[in-house]
């Protein structure tokens, strides 16, 4: 009898403990923003390799504060915004000698990455400040000696002498929607992540810069529904699949001679996604790509006369991804990454054409983090501990020995000091908010800078469930997945299943990493009785080139098969109600959820598509053709995998959401999908956010969006 009483008391205590914990509200997540951990931003390693700086808000002003790497202690404030009448600083950068700081304020976004702002130069030694230009400018960058600043204004490239204020206009033919100098066009920015289109040589005597002639690129227009009587029309160049691109040329500007020289290459390249100076101030590297993006040339240009030669070429039966891992070393060698072995690995290449593969194995190098040329050590992160993890390693080039530096299994992000003596590591796993720590380069912990302990305590007050990982074995592939079950989970009960996905080429959503963006929304759904799950289909990253690239020319086909198979797997579990399975995604994920509710109509009861591509003909050519070739070359690939052509199969509840000012995935996609649904006499729900871009945010917009989606799930699943 005593044992039964103790057992009863134990169960009662457990129930009372759980009852004391709170459920999450959407207001806490997206109005109060109280469920976001602390982080580090605007951290810069300083030239000594012994110090770093951080831009911080202090009371009612901002400060740039200098810290010691050796122990994380404060050295001193370098800049205090309260000393000057400057609005909020959004970014800053040092001159190479660190006597000057470039400060950005009144920043406004142009597209996803591009911005214009007011810029000021602050002199650290005399505490004086000067405005770079009275108008907002783009991408200012100090010359190596710190005496000049190059920047873009009105699509032209300028150089300003900081001491005497004299300005040199490098180009003069810039014109909106026609010619761009020193910056990129829309599609290069979005798909090649190229924003600033110029680079100083190491001696500051030359600038290499892009000239985009987008005169023949077709225009896309968006109406902006302002408070005025008539809408304002925004028109910009947007090359869709199969359409003409900008003509791109690279110029060299000689500072002393005030002379521009066009670089003529042996081949005409459809794309030039990267330029970068070598350590030799007279040698520029240029990367050229064909239109299919499966043939790459690495070109060396002599700045003295613009003569050039192809150092090496790469070909791929699918496509070649572009990254920023190229790093030039002091001894005529450089680091290059390639998937030509079947997995992304590091290569040491010489300017004489030599090559040595540094890393090998059935795993991916996900990031090259630097090389200590004195110790001959290469630092990189990889999937050696599993495709859902990111672990830091150091490779000793002399001995060939690799050492793991990361202490914990999960996702490690690093920021190394100049000289590679220290690094700041951000660690998180699926259920642990980020922990920021300072390490020596040999992996010795110096200091924990931010443990998010207070945030962890706050999390303990809520009724949360662990995110659990597993592998789903289907007839076609082994798929990584995670699941969040209701906190009071009962294996004998049937639960509805809500699946989230992205699924695009090379992406990963099943990562052992804390998801600050959606973690608490998923937990809120779980608290309301839903099992929440995510599956990375074929075509996603972390598992090698063949797994990633097998969707080539058939985007959407195999990914949809995998999501349907995964849903059927979950539906076969004893605790899942197979008649109540929903799916949601954004952008590529919206495309996938639209295919799931049509092609998988017998499996999915509900789908939410936010800003979806609905026909690849409507999307930009660099992204689309990389995976699909052109519509003319691959008509069936485009048509067979467009959800517009499968609307007649729709049976479940379908919610379409889009912003009218989406410059990336145009609202045309949603309108064409809606038109097809109406023609097929299919009922669906549609919600439009006027003047909102691809991110759909601003004010309480994000709360409104998630409230709309949450209510749709509660009402229909």
Across residues 372-380, what is the average pLDDT?
94
Distance CA 362, CA 343 (A): 6
Taking Cα atoms as reference points, which of 234, 214, 216 lies closest to residue 224?
Answer: 234
pLDDT surpassing 90 at residue 43: no
Partnered with residue 686 across adjacent β-strands are 656
Let me know: does 660 contact 688? Beta carbons within 8 Å.
yes
pLDDT surpassing 90 at residue 11: no
Assigned domain for 245 exists: no
Taking Cα atoms as reference points, which of 201, 199, 193, 214 lies closest to residue 250?
Answer: 199
H/E stretch holding 123: strand 115-123
Q: CB-based contacts of 268: which residues, under 8 Å, 6+ apart?
A: none
User: How far is residue 348 from each of residues 276, 289, 353, 527, measured CA to CA in Å?
Assistant: 17, 21, 10, 51
Q: Pairing relation of β-strands 51-58 and 432-440? A: unpaired
Enter the tokens of residue 386.
Answer: 């599993």
Distance CA 498, CA 508 (A): 18
Owning domain of residue 660? 462-716
* 564-623 tens-digit pLDDT: 999 999 999 999 999 999 999 999 999 999 999 999 999 999 999 999 999 999 999 999
Let me know: does 615 contact 621? Beta carbons within 8 Å.
no
pLDDT surpassing 50 at residue 187: yes
pLDDT at 1: 47
Assigned domain for 11 exists: no
Assigned domain for 518 exists: yes
Assigned domain for 609 exists: yes
* 464-515 tens-digit pLDDT: 999 999 999 999 999 999 999 999 999 999 999 999 999 999 999 999 999 9
Question: What three-state secondary structure class fits 391?
Answer: strand
pLDDT at 9: 44
Q: CB-based contacts of 576: which residues, under 8 Å, 6+ apart?
A: 494, 495, 496, 497, 531, 570
Across residues 294-309, what is the average pLDDT?
97
Distance CA 42, CA 91 (A): 7
Q: Provide, for the chain, the percentages of residues in helix, strand and coil under a 3-state DSSP scheme, each rounded to the nearest 5.
A: 20, 40, 45
How much of the chain exceeds pLDDT 90, in percent? 93
User: In terms of C-beta density within 10 A (0-12 exposed, 13-18 middle, 19 or more buried), how is residue 170 classed?
Assistant: buried
Assigned domain for 199 exists: no
H/E stretch holding 640: helix 635-640
Any long-range contacts for 305-313 (C-beta under 8 Å, 24+ apart)? Answer: 306/252, 306/261, 306/262, 306/263, 306/264, 308/263, 308/264, 308/265, 308/266, 309/266, 310/266, 311/351, 311/353, 312/349, 312/353, 312/355
Across residues 191-208, what is the average pLDDT?
97
Assigned domain for 140 exists: no
pLDDT surpassing 50 at residue 3: no
Enter the tokens of residue 438.
Answer: 């300072």
**64 vs 10, residue with greater confidence:** 64
Cβ neighbour number for residue 338 with a 10 Å cutoff? 21
Assigned domain for 596 exists: yes
pLDDT surpassing 70 at residue 218: yes
User: In terms of C-beta density within 10 A (0-12 exposed, 13-18 middle, 19 or more buried), how is residue 42 classed?
Assistant: middle
Across residues 8-24, what is the average pLDDT?
60
Total structural domains within the chain: 1
pLDDT surpassing 80 at residue 15: no
What per-residue string of b and e applies to 435-445 under the rule 16 or more CB within 10 Å gives b?
A: bbbbbebebee
* 444-474 tens-digit pLDDT: 999 999 999 999 999 999 999 999 999 999 9
Q: E strands within 567-675?
A: 576-586, 606-610, 653-659
pLDDT at 19: 55
Q: Which residue in this structure is represented by tokens 């030799």?
A: 280
pLDDT surpassing 60 at residue 7: no
- Here the CATH number for the domain that contains residue 513 is 3.40.50.1820
Q: CB-based contacts of 10: which residues, under 8 Å, 6+ apart?
A: none
Assigned domain for 546 exists: yes
Across residues 516-535, what is the average pLDDT?
97
Q: At 226, is the pLDDT very low, low, confident or very high (cuts 50, 70, 90)?
A: confident
pLDDT at 309: 97
Q: What is the DSSP letter of 493?
A: S
User: In terms of C-beta density within 10 A (0-12 exposed, 13-18 middle, 19 or more buried), how is residue 123 classed?
Assistant: middle
Let me know: does 264 contact 251? Beta carbons within 8 Å.
no
Q: CB-based contacts of 251: which residues, under 8 Å, 6+ apart?
A: 171, 208, 209, 210, 211, 260, 261, 262, 263
Let me know: does 382 contact 366? Beta carbons within 8 Å.
yes
Phi, psi of 170, deg, nearest 5:
-75, -40
Q: At 325, is the pLDDT very low, low, confident or very high (cuts 50, 70, 90)?
A: very high
Chain Cα centroid distance, residue 512: 17
């Amino acid at each position: 009898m005593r044992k039964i009483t103790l057992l009863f008391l134990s169960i009662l205590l457990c129930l009372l403990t759980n009852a004391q914990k709170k459920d999450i509200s959407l207001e806490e997540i997206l109005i109060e923003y109280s469920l976001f951990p602390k982080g580090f931003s605007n951290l810069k390693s300083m030239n000594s390799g012994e110090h770093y700086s951080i831009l911080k808000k202090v009371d009612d002003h901002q400060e740039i504060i200098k810290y010691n790497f050796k122990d994380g202690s404060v050295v001193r404030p370098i800049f205090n915004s309260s000393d000057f009448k400057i609005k909020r600083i959004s970014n800053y950068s040092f001159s190479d000698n660190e006597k000057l700081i470039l400060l950005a304020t009144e920043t406004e976004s142009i597209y996803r990455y591009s911005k214009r702002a007011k810029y000021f130069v602050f002199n650290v030694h005399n505490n004086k400040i000067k405005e770079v230009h009275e108008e907002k400018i783009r991408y200012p960058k100090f010359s190596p000696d710190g005496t000049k600043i190059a920047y873009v204004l009105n699509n032209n490239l300028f150089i300003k002498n900081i001491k005497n204020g004299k300005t040199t206009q490098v180009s003069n033919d810039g014109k909106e929607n026609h010619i761009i100098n020193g910056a990129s066009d829309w599609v290069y920015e979005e798909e090649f992540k190229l924003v600033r289109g110029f680079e100083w040589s190491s001696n500051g005597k030359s600038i290499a810069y892009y000239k985009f002639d987008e005169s023949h690129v077709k225009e896309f227009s968006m109406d902006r529904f302002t408070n005025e009587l008539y809408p304002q029309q925004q028109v910009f160049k947007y090359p869709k699949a199969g359409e003409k691109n900008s003509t791109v040329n690279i110029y060299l500007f000689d500072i002393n001679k005030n002379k521009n020289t066009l670089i003529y290459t042996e081949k005409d390249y459809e794309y030039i996604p990267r330029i970068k100076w070598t350590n030799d101030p007279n040698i520029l590297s240029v990367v050229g790509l064909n239109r299919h993006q499966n043939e790459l040339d690495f070109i060396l240009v002599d700045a003295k006369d613009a003569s050039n030669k192809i150092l090496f070429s790469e070909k791929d039966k699918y496509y070649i991804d572009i990254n920023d891992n190229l790093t030039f070393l002091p001894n005529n060698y450089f680091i290059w990454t390639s998937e030509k072995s079947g997995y992304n690995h590091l290569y040491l290449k010489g300017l004489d054409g030599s090559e040595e593969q540094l890393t090998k194995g059935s795993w991916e190098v996900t990031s090259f983090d630097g090389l200590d040329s004195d110790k001959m050590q290469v630092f990189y992160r990889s999937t050696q501990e599993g495709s859902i993890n990111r672990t830091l390693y150091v490779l000793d080039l002399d001995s060939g020995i690799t050492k793991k530096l990361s202490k914990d299994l999960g996702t490690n992000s690093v920021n190394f000091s100049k000289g590679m003596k220290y690094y700041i590591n951000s660690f998180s796993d699926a259920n642990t908010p980020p922990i920021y720590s300072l390490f020596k380069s040999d992996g010795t912990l110096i200091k924990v800078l931010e443990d998010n302990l207070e945030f962890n305590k706050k999390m303990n007050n809520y009724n949360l469930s662990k995110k659990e990982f597993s592998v789903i074995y289907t007839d076609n592939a082994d798929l990584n997945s995670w699941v969040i079950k209701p906190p009071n989970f009962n294996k004998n009960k049937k639960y509805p299943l809500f699946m989230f996905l992205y699924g695009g080429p090379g992406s990963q959503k099943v990562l052992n990493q804390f998801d600050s963006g959606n973690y608490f929304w998923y937990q809120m759904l779980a608290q309301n009785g839903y099992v929440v799950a995510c599956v990375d289909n074929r075509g996603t990253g972390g598992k090698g080139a063949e797994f990633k690239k097998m969707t080539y020319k058939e985007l959407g086909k195999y990914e949809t098969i995998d999501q349907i198979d995964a849903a059927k797997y979950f539906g076969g579990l004893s605790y899942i109600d197979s008649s109540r399975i929903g799916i949601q995604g954004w952008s590529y994920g919206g495309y996938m959820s639209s295919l799931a509710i049509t092609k998988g109509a017998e499996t999915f009861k509900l789908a939410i598509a936010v800003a979806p591509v609905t026909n690849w003909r409507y999307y930009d050519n660099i992204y689309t053709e990389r995976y699909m070739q052109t519509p003319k070359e691959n008509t069936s690939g485009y048509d067979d995998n467009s959800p517009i052509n499968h609307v007649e199969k729709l049976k479940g509840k379908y919610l379409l959401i889009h912003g009218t000012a989406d410059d990336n995935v145009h609202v045309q996609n949603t309108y064409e999908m809606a038109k097809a649904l109406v023609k097929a006499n299919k009922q669906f729900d549609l919600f439009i956010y006027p003047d909102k871009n691809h991110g759909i945010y601003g004010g309480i917009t994000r709360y409104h969006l998630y409230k709309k989606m949450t209510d749709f799930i509660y009402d229909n699943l």
